[in-house]
Chain A
């Protein structure tokens, strides 16, 4: 029997937007989130400003979550995991369990939208030797977000504001040795955004960005990259680092200044590793449970991404956001809208077929 329910898995930006979209189109929506809160990685990791537009991440996410939780067509299940799935397009039976007590229930859904997102690359697996697990003053983009949000951007080793900070780009991305050959898309923008925030919060701090290519497409160029250079005097140096090691109470960063063609050694108070995106544990797990094809990186495979960016290998199951690969917020939200539209169309078609229409 066909169901008129759309099941959305994941309560981050893409999942929230997909739920809102499907509900606005009149479908019944069940939104499942493993964590005890909505808002996804931006809230979980305590992001500061959103990279596009500099709005407060928590405020934006809370507003979106509010619209979803108060929507009459949406039922939100927090601290709930997907553990099993049977059936096919129009007629899925998905087993859920409560994280707290393991109590399980089954949801009958006509279509599923997977929005299980990404996780930040763990710099412990980096080919280069960046010392994240050796030195407290080496942090990641996510760590820096939390500090900037708290408006307490200080050296973890001393608690004092830094005088020299650098970003190292492409950590865990574009690396054949790690097996992540892809570009994570957002790190150039986030690093530049954070560089601006650091300059705003700690005006005496010099900020450097060591990069391979600055990928500041579209409006990121004029809204982020140029202001970072022109207004905030952030230094961009082409060439990244092979090692970070303690020297006295500073961090010695070794790289090449490729525009000069010579080895470079610079002392920093703090180093921020621009860690890329990998499929979240939830994405891997849900893909396995739903029988979705994953690409070699573990992201959910989208067979015809260029023309149908939300379809998966299983009819009736759609994907939105970074579960399908590195995405910025703009892409995630657009995908969510498309997925909502496709999912609602799928349940209506299935119901029509079932009722002989």
Chain B
């Protein structure tokens, strides 16, 4: 085989597939440094439990995503304001027969407050992070982080702890006073990476046809911009040039993912802005994101993978109606959408009544009878109201669809 000069037609005839040159040196891998510090006795590294799935990272390396025995680091914004988000993540685990822990020995990462008000500091933020890591470690379950901000922030904390011995010493001392070891997980894993890792298992269990559903994806800044190297990039999704989470899941479910020209824009959450400067948040979310999506892609649903993005894109639409803005598209996490496709109850599991933009047309298009489902949920509420039940339980929900056999891990 000889190496000829390139063909005359230039890029017209060229098939472009990005392949990372295996001979090129890779940038520094923070995980190596994390393990080095363990070898020096600085901290304990919690290993990703087997079985895990190896998924491709932006920097060309592989990331281990645990399938089960995960310690669910919940999100305050999800649990507090869009509880169907967290519930859907748990429900997916249950349906796939994967064991998880939903701990009470967990605080928020406090990153939302830190990025909003700066009424904290690097040591406090690191101490909160490693306190949660230690809490996970003692259970033997591995942290799976629900919130994009917690995920990005914890990766930032990991870098700071690795780079600054004095910070490590300070935090180790604090942990000693709390009677806890200094622990760093081998990987910092976001729930959307787990959903990505099990997307084909989810797709295999889908009970509604999603082929007519047009999806636009909003990627979360704190997922792929804050600390970039270990976000998931898949050569089959956007040519490996944009993060693959969420999009890969929607595609696996058979939905039509459509692009729009402000894909990379932030949602406008702003941390402090969503709470005390909402004119910014609303304007940005509607003018830059929702209107552009509706004009260019006409989605049936906007899927994203972070707390603030769902809240911002969903809740900002109502007020814009008075300005005759083009709004009115449901917003939810890909976990909720995947759960719906797998037959999860839109109210008992996905808790869509907490969402502001109208989701009912989406359910109708998917073939889900929301009136009947709401009736069922109303009856649940009535039973609780009458005192016949204290709570809606997992047993109530799990009973709906027979649990499939355990996930086969190859």
Contacts and interface: CB of A to CB of B under 8 A. Distances in A.
Q: Are A and B co-members of a single complex?
A: yes
Given A245-B261, A252-B261, A37 B241 contact: no
A156 B25 contact: no
Interface string A45-60: 1100000000000000
A243 B264 contact: yes
A152 B13 CA distance: 13
A146 B8 CA distance: 7
Contacts of A134: 238-239, 241
Interface string B88-108: 000000000000000000000
Contacts of A227: none
B10 A131 contact: no
Nearest to B4: A36
Contact of A298 (B25, B27, B238): B25
Interface string B352-363: 000000000000
B11 A146 contact: yes
Interface string B6-25: 10111110101111110111
A133 B264 contact: no
Contacts of B25: 179, 298
A291 interface: no
B1 interface: yes
B334 to A, nearest CB: 21
Contacts, number: 95
The main secondary structure of chain B at its interface with chain A is loop
Chain A, interface size category, equals 35 or more
B287 to A, nearest CB: 13
A64 to B, nearest CB: 16
Contacts of A133: 16-18, 239-241
Interface stretch (A104-112, A121-129, A191-199, A342-350): A121-129
Nearest to A288: B23
B322 interface: no
A262 interface: no
Interface in A70-127: 79, 99-100, 122, 124-125
Interface in A142-184: 143, 146-147, 150, 152, 154, 156, 159, 177, 179
B119 interface: no
Contacts of A159: 12
A139 interface: yes
Given A124-B20, A136-B11, A179-B27, A99 B3 contact: yes
Interface residues of B, number: 33
A298 B24 CA distance: 9
Contact of B3 (A79, A139, A143, A156): A79
A79 B2 contact: yes
A103 to B, nearest CB: 14
A238 interface: no
Given A37-B4, A46-B5, A179-B27, A129 B10 contact: no
Interface of B: 1-6, 8-12, 14, 16-21, 23-25, 27, 228, 238-242, 259, 261, 263-264, 296
Given A146-B11, A284-B23, 7 more contacts: A35-B2, A35-B3, A36-B4, A43-B5, A124-B19, A134-B241, A143-B11
Interface of A: 34-37, 39, 43-46, 79, 99-100, 122, 124-125, 129, 131-134, 136, 139, 143, 146-147, 150, 152, 154, 156, 159, 177, 179, 242-243, 245-248, 252, 254, 281, 284, 298
